[in-house]
């Protein structure tokens, strides 16, 4: 508990603190707006924005570890591995829980019928969001150590995933949701989605630990500093 409090405290010293907070709040607000005001239950746009909102804390926890005073601190490894992963996971799970609540509240038979959807399709968006969150958590583990390679792979993977998601023949997460649904009870779909996110958090921690001794990418830090100074 003491370490968790420390991780939350150092967030304010992260690079681009104000920008990261603004981006997180904007994406979260847009996600909620698209979810609540959307006319179709099959839309993944709101889920995508909400998914992104919890990931900005990784930089805020990780970046203070670059400071010289932290470099010689016994907390350096914890901050770069446990701290950055744990805090990101907490924020991602919180944002995802809001998405779950909205989806449950909007699972009205009339609304689903009007939007030409089913319970399985409606709740499959949770699996879609969980996959996005899990993958981006994994990306974060590489982002400060292999900046260019990680960024290229991340962009390409997300674009391919989103393009495939627009084609109903490749919406595998809908098939998964259909197999997990118990009538109109989404309990298994929700539990499965949380499981995906937790696996993403675990992988983030594992790879953060494996990459710990690798030098931090100077380009990643310079880019963050440049953007911070421009604000």
pLDDT of residue 159: 79
- Its pTM stands at 0.88
Report pLDDT digits (tens) over 118-172. Answer: 898 899 999 999 999 999 999 998 888 887 888 888 888 877 777 766 666 556 7
3-class state of residue 53 by DSSP: helix
User: Which residue ranges in the chain fall short of pLDDT 70?
Assistant: 39, 67-73, 164-171, 217-231
Residues shown for the chain: 231
Q: For the residues of 9-67, what is the DSSP string, one character each?
A: HHGGGSTTHHHHHHHHHHHHHHHHHHHHH-S-TT--HHHHHHHHHTSTHHHHHHGGGGS
């Amino acid at each position: 508990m003491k370490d968790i409090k420390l991780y939350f405290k150092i967030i304010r010293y992260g690079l681009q603190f104000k920008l990261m907070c603004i981006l997180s709040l904007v994406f979260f607000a847009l996600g909620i707006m698209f979810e609540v005001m959307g006319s179709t239950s099959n839309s993944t746009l709101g889920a995508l924005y909400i998914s992104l909102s919890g990931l900005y804390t990784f930089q805020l926890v990780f970046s203070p570890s670059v400071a010289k005073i932290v470099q010689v601190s016994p907390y350096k490894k914890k901050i770069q591995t446990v701290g950055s992963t744990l805090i990101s996971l907490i924020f991602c799970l919180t944002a995802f829980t809001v998405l779950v609540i909205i989806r449950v509240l909007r699972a009205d038979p009339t609304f689903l019928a009007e939007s030409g959807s089913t319970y399985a399709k409606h709740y499959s968006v949770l699996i879609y969001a969980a996959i996005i969150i899990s993958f981006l958590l994994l990306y974060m583990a590489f982002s400060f150590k292999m900046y260019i390679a990680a960024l290229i792979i991340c962009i390409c993977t997300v674009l391919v995933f989103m393009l495939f998601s627009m084609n109903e023949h490749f919406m595998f997460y809908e098939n998964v949701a259909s197999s997990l649904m118990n009538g109109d009870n989404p309990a298994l779909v929700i539990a499965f989605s949380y499981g995906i996110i937790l696996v993403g958090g675990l992988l983030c921690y594992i790879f953060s630990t494996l990459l710990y001794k690798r030098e931090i990418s100077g380009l990643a830090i310079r880019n963050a500093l440049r953007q911070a100074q421009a604000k």
